[in-house]
Structure 1
């Protein structure tokens, strides 16, 4: 098994983007213009827009789009007046960010980085982190929450989307219980081979203790959350929540 599984995932996401992956299609010029006019929404999970009351004032807000490349959310935040940095390990996702920024004439700081490593930012660099569903591609989510806490200013916001693990139990048709949890290809050769042979990338299920408890252990205070479905497929038809999103704040000194 490849110890640098994140390199494999970077390559597979580049491949998906070339195949018009849903989460790699950048926003249109029309969508950007609407955001300039105050008509906008963004998602962390497949269907539900993030409540607007979750966000701070965007004017001069320093935002980190964590694993949020693709030209989908950062253009909206930039149109609303934020100063955006995007960190992603997919070069094609970063290329999409650059394309939209060049098309619309705004500046964005782009960093090709791996969130399994120390984030390449100083302590307390950002007012908000926007982190769509993506930690299903890494094994250790505790590290990510700790790094998010480190690079956020006191009072800063972490707005994150997460898979709850349900998707990993079933087969592709979502009709048959197939896999036991946790789903971890690095500890199961058969799963690893399935992921590689089917171009799934190396994915991982995570528990509520890791996702919610991990944020709490890092020091965050969770102020709100919601659940969402896949948007299509059998589980969606039965309204089974497969994703969740949280709003958390970095507490200041007591």
Structure 2
């Protein structure tokens, strides 16, 4: 109740909505579901697109109308996010200095001053990835770079929000793959953080726009690894998102009328 960042509005019975949808009590008939052209194509694993297309076809068979929509600014969303997010990380984590919040670590050698305590605390308390984001965020917020980087990224964020607003004027929800590829081996991209960040291309637009999103498994790619389906809805329309997710999750356990032989989800997995 005292959290200024929480919405003071009633929450729909989301669990009940998902369950009712799975039982076909809330069918997908009458819903328009958008497929974003900018969130597919080059760079997406073939097996990911195949599983996604099958899930979209299943939604069509369950009664939804599938509409192709365009959000041109999504091509720039990833770059904008990785300027805005590190800047916020740098600003928000500045309080954890060993004086006011978090742990306190004193230097093993030399004088104990505010500067040395702060350095020792932040060196011990933050991992490599957090430090990388703090350094990047501090740079983009520094004098001479603020307008060029952080300010420009905020303008892109506004464009992303406007694209989603326009798309949701045509459809009730949007679907996309959750990731362009299946899971990579643990630790394989630690030496190439940019490659790791690029895999966020489909999920960070929702964060920039401030809209709800959910991911659920929608099949297996050729490498035997699971593929995720992402459902995005307008702000405050979480009930629509859960309605679609519940129907799709239940529907994927049934045979596709058009192409797939009868098989349960467990058998396919």
TM-score (norm: length of structure 1): 0.31
Structure with bigger helix share is 2
After TM superposition, the score normalised by the length of structure 2 is: 0.30
Structure with bigger RCO (C-alpha 8 Å, 6+ apart): 2
Identify, as 1 or 2, the structure richer in strand.
1
